[in-house]
């Protein structure tokens, strides 16, 4: 036999919870139990009605017994009591009426146990620290089934609209009692949402058989409520009085503030935050600094004191001070950049007459502020003060150095000077970053003057008197350069410094050239020049001419040395006196062109054909080569071939000499190459003596007195 009992209500009076159960059953009876069954079921409309009544009564009794055992049937329905109830019905049917019963229980509204998705329109809420009403919206919420308490979905029997309304009420209560405006504005869909989910799941949805798995909230007032979250403010106060300072100083304040509590800020009702902050800073700093000395503004204690007092003020309006710098602008710059300068200093060497220039670069940062305090003064430039102390140290060290060492061996003292600065910086309260010391060649009088003198070649030209008016003038020409200062001579530097101090490089160069030319005229005679000329005419071997030229060059070099001593300098002859007159230059080419390696010297003798172009020079070179060849083969000047070449050379603008191969001069001269060479060697030895001629001594004294 099968049967079903519909809508069997089980109610817990204490909690008010109730459920409706359906009982489906099957019964059978053994023969020996038939009398017992009949006796149990006969008193009623029919046996089936009596059985169903018994089953309902047994189920209610089971539920009541569970309550007394602190295991309520409704709460424990899905946690084992359903099966126990079925077993209880089967047992009582067998024992009390002799029937074999198989009962199955099922919830009437089990189809309601499923996830629910809800959302709402904007509804009003309040927070605990803000008096005005705010709007909130459940943009989306997913309510899953709580498997542990899903029976409550059936017991409450709430519709979605009822659930949404209850959720809004619970949210409003939570926000009003637990949430600040700052959390509402900045954490609505982060920390605040998570707190709401935990609260609703644990205190509201737990007994409705559900839990929130997803929640998105929205408010249309958040943007309008937000002030500046992080504020950077700079303010300059030019009327701050400090101790022992007769006039007010300037203070620069740099403040970075972060918003911590928007509710406090809204409650403070501040119209303009920067104006409010400026007023507070002015009051705090002027009060604190009134008893401070200027140097104390570098100390961290002063800055912390200002920051702490400002922190208390801004905290009351919901902000915090993240960063604060309150110092005079020059001290702020000093902390950020340190001490940095590149400058030139004039120093006196061991010889106090010699003034030298050094280029010094120093970059240092603040080290020990207590040592630096003595340089801090609002009316002084600290960089200049530090620089002056370092310059004093350098000057003292340079004063012990010989001029020769300073200028010629600077690499040996460079590190000594750097070490001096490195030692001084910690004494001034500074920490070294970089130090360089070098000779200031752009401003040092010696370097400027010497570099100008040494960068060029200087020409000299001496014309010697002749007795025959028909002869061409005899000239000795060449060039020289300035090599160095005559350091080995005790008076060398002194003489050069005196010249560099009173004359510019061009004037010195002119005086050197004039002295040198006068020295040549004093020590060389016309006879000496004829020696070279005669060699050009009569000596066929170029090596012999070269020997004579070398001896003459030695004489000229010695004369240059004597001339340079007057100026404290050393010089060198660069171009030997090979070209004496225009005619002699062409004679010289005859010998030089006999060697292949001397062909290019024609280009250096461009004075002969200075108005000719490159093509003319090339043609002249070829013609001169041919002429030299014909002359060497014995051709006379009246020979047609030679006359033709001479005419072409003359057309190019080169004036030909009026002499034959065997031409002689009327001036007396030695009779042989050997005697000429011996004469020149004696001349060289005489002029290489350290004793200058009387004429040079006289000229030197005259010019020194200028």
Which of 667, 482, 643 has the alpha carbon at shortest distance from 568?
482
Q: Report whether 41 contacts 47 (CB < 8 A).
A: yes
pLDDT at position 650, please? 62
**Average pLDDT of the segment spanning 104-122:** 89
pLDDT bracket for residue 686 (50, 70, 90): low
151-180 burial, b for 16+ CB within 10 Å, e for fewer? bbbbbbebeeeebbebbbebbeebbeeebb
Which of 150-159, 408-417, 488-497 has the highest average model confidence (pLDDT)?
408-417
The predicted-structure confidence for 281-300, as pLDDT tens digits, reads as follows 888 888 887 777 777 676 66
Tokens at 688, concatenated: 């290489």
Q: In the predicted model, what is the mean pLDDT of residues 149-159? A: 83
Pairwise pLDDT comparison (451 vs 240), residue with the higher score: 451
Average pLDDT of the residues in 352-373: 82
Quote the radius of gyration of the chain (alpha carbons, Å).
59
Within a 13 Å sphere around the CA of 347, how many CA atoms are in the beta-carbon half?
Answer: 32
Q: 137 phi and psi, to 5 degrees?
A: -140, 135
pLDDT of 667 higher than 50: no
Strands (E), 69-129: 99-107, 116-118, 123-127
Of 410, 506, 505, 411, nearest to 450 by C-alpha is 505
User: Which of these, 241, 244, 252, 247, lies nearest to 290 by C-alpha position?
Assistant: 241
* pLDDT band per the 50, 70, 90 thresholds, residue 526: low
Q: How far apart are CA 646 and CA 534, in angstroms?
A: 22
Residue 446: the pLDDT is 81
Q: What is the mean pLDDT of residues 233-260?
A: 80
Q: Which of 62-66, 81-85, 342-346, 413-417 has the lowest mean pLDDT?
A: 62-66
- Find all residues with CB under 8 Å of 101, minimum gap 6, and list them: 25, 26, 27, 55, 89, 90, 93, 94
- Predicted pLDDT of residue 199: 95
Judge contact between 571 and 484, C-beta under 8 A. no
At 232, is the pLDDT very low, low, confident or very high (cuts 50, 70, 90)? Answer: confident
pLDDT value for 20: 87
Query: Could you tell me how far CA 45 lies from the centroid of its own chain?
Result: 105
The pLDDT assigned to 336 comes to 74
The confidence score (pLDDT) of residue 417 equals 92
- What is the pLDDT averaged over residues 666-679? 51
Q: In what order do the strands lie in the sheet with 249-259?
A: 230-240, 249-259, 319-327
Q: Please list, in sequence order, all residues whose beta carbon lies within 8 angstroms of the beta carbon of residue 229, skipping any fewer than 6 positions away.
A: 258, 259
So what's the pLDDT on residue 8? 86
How far is 83 from 73, CA to CA, in rounded Å? 11
Residue that has been written with the tokens 């590190």 in this structure: 415
- Listed range (204-218, 339-353, 506-520) with the worst mean pLDDT: 339-353
**Mean pLDDT lowest among 352-356, 431-435, 600-604:** 600-604
Confidence (pTM):
0.46
- Answer with the residue of higher pLDDT: 396 or 409: 396
Give the Cα separation of 597 and 589 in Å (integer).
12
Q: Which of 416-420, 491-495, 673-677 has the lowest mean pLDDT?
A: 673-677
Report residue 441 as tokens.
């060649």
Residue 606 pLDDT level (bands cut at 50, 70, 90) = very low
Q: Which pairing describes strands 230-240 and 430-439: parallel, antiparallel, or unpaired?
A: unpaired
Confidence of residue 690 (pLDDT cuts 50, 70, 90): very low
Q: What is the pLDDT of residue 545?
A: 64
Of residues 403 and 246, more confidently modeled: 403
Percent of the chain with pLDDT over 70: 74
688 or 157, which is more confident? 157
Please state the rounded mean pLDDT for residues 2-18: 81
Of 23 and 239, more confident: 23
Q: How far apart are CA 702 and CA 698, in angstroms?
A: 6
For residue 595, what pLDDT is reported? Answer: 39
**Residue 206 token pair:** 């737990």
When mean pLDDT is compared across 31-40, 398-407, 679-688, the lowest value belongs to: 679-688
Confidence of residue 643 (pLDDT cuts 50, 70, 90): confident
- More confident of the two residues 490 and 656: 490
Quick one: average pLDDT of 501-525?
87
Kindly report the average pLDDT of the chain as a whole number: 78
Q: Is the Cβ–Cβ distance between 599 and 621 less than 8 Å?
A: yes
Residue 576 pLDDT greater than 80, yes or no? no
Q: Residue 144: what pLDDT?
A: 94
The residue with greater pLDDT, 629 or 445, is 445
End-to-end Cα separation, the chain, in angstroms: 154
- Confidence tier at 702 by pLDDT (50, 70, 90): very low
The order of strands in the sheet holding 99-107 is 2-12, 17-29, 99-107
Question: Which carries the bigger pLDDT value, residue 403 or residue 607?
Answer: 403
pLDDT mean over 396-401: 92
Q: What 3-state class would DSSP assign to 654?
A: coil
CB 212 within 8 A of CB 142: yes
From residue 93, alpha-carbon distances to 41, 90, 375, 388 in Å are: 11, 5, 109, 116
Say how far apart CA 230 and CA 186 lie, in whole Å: 14
- Distance (Å, rounded) from C-alpha 432 to C-alpha 251? 28
At CA 691, angle to CA 513 and CA 498, rounded to 5? 50
Region 319-334: mean pLDDT is 74
What local confidence, expressed as pLDDT, does residue 242 receive? 75
Comparing C-alpha atoms, which of 88, 96, 51 is closest to residue 66?
Answer: 88
Give the pLDDT score at 578: 46
Whether residue 694 is predicted with pLDDT greater than 60 in this model: the reply is no
pLDDT-wise least confident of 114-123, 147-156, 202-211: 147-156
């Amino acid at each position: 036999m099968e049967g079903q009992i519909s809508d069997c209500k089980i109610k817990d009076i204490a909690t008010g919870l109730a459920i409706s159960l359906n009982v489906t059953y099957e019964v059978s009876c053994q023969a020996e139990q038939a009398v017992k069954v009949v006796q149990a079921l006969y008193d009623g409309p029919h046996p089936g009605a009596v059985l169903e009544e018994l089953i309902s009564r047994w189920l209610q009794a089971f539920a009541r017994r569970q309550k007394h055992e602190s295991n309520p049937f409704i709460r424990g329905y899905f946690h084992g009591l359903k099966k126990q109830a079925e077993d209880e019905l089967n047992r009582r049917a067998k024992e009390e009426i002799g029937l074999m019963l198989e009962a199955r229980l099922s919830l009437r509204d089990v189809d309601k146990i499923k996830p629910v998705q809800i959302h709402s329109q904007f509804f009003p809420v309040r927070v605990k620290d803000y008096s005005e009403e705010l709007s909130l919206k459940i943009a989306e919420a997913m309510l899953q089934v709580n498997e542990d308490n899903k029976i409550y979905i059936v017991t409450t029997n709430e519709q979605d609209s009822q659930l949404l309304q209850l959720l809004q009420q619970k949210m409003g209560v939570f926000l009003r009692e637990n949430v600040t405006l700052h959390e509402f504005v900045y954490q609505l869909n982060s920390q605040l949402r998570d707190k709401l989910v935990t609260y609703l799941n644990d205190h509201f949805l737990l007994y409705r058989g559900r839990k929130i798995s997803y929640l998105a909230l929205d408010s249309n007032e958040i943007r309008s409520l937000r002030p500046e979250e992080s504020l950077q403010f700079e303010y300059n106060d030019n009327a701050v009085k400090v101790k022992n300072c007769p006039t007010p100083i300037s203070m620069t304040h740099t403040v970075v503030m972060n918003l911590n509590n928007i509710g406090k800020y809204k409650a403070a009702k501040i119209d303009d935050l920067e104006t409010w902050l400026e007023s507070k800073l002015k009051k705090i700093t002027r009060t604190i600094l009134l008893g401070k000395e200027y140097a104390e503004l570098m100390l961290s204690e002063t800055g912390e004191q200002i920051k702490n007092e400002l922190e208390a003020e801004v905290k009351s309006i919901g902000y915090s001070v993240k960063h604060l710098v309150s110092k005079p602008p020059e001290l702020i710059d000093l902390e950020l950049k340190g001490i940095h300068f590149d400058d030139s200093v004039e120093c006196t060497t061991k010889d106090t007459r010699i003034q030298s220039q050094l280029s010094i670069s120093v970059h240092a940062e603040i080290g020990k502020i207590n040592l630096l305090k003595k340089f801090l003064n609002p009316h002084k430039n600290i960089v200049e003060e530090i620089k002056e102390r370092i310059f004093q140290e350098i000057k003292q060290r340079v004063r012990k150095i010989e001029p020769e060492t300073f200028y010629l061996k600077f690499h040996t003292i460079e590190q000594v000077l750097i070490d001096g600065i490195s030692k001084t910086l910690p004494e001034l309260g500074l920490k070294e970053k970089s130090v360089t010391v070098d000779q200031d060649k752009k401003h040092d009088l010696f370097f400027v003057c010497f570099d100008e003198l040494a960068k060029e070649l200087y020409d000299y030209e001496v014309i010697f008197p002749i007795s025959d008016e028909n002869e061409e003038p005899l000239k000795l020409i060449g060039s020289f350069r300035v090599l160095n200062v005559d350091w080995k001579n005790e008076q060398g530097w002194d003489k050069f410094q005196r010249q560099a101090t009173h004359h510019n490089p061009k004037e010195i160069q002119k005086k050197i050239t004039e002295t040198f030319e006068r020295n040549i005229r004093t020590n060389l005679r016309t006879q000496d020049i004829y020696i070279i000329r005669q060699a050009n005419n009569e000596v066929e071997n170029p090596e012999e001419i070269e020997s004579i030229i070398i001896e003459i060059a030695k004489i000229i070099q010695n004369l240059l040395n004597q001339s340079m001593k007057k100026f404290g300098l050393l010089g060198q002859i660069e171009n030997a006196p090979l070209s004496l007159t225009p005619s002699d230059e062409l004679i010289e080419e005859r010998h030089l062109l006999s060697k292949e390696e001397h062909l290019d010297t024609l280009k250096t003798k461009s004075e002969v054909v200075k108005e000719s172009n490159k093509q003319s020079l090339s043609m002249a070179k070829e013609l001169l080569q041919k002429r030299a060849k014909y002359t060497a083969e014995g051709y006379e000047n009246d020979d047609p071939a030679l006359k033709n070449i001479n005419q072409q050379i003359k057309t190019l603008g080169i004036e030909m000499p009026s002499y034959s191969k065997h031409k002689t001069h009327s001036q007396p001269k030695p009779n042989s190459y050997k005697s000429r060479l011996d004469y020149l060697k004696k001349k060289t030895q005489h002029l290489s003596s350290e004793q200058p001629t009387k004429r040079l001594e006289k000229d030197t004294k005259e010019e020194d007195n200028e």
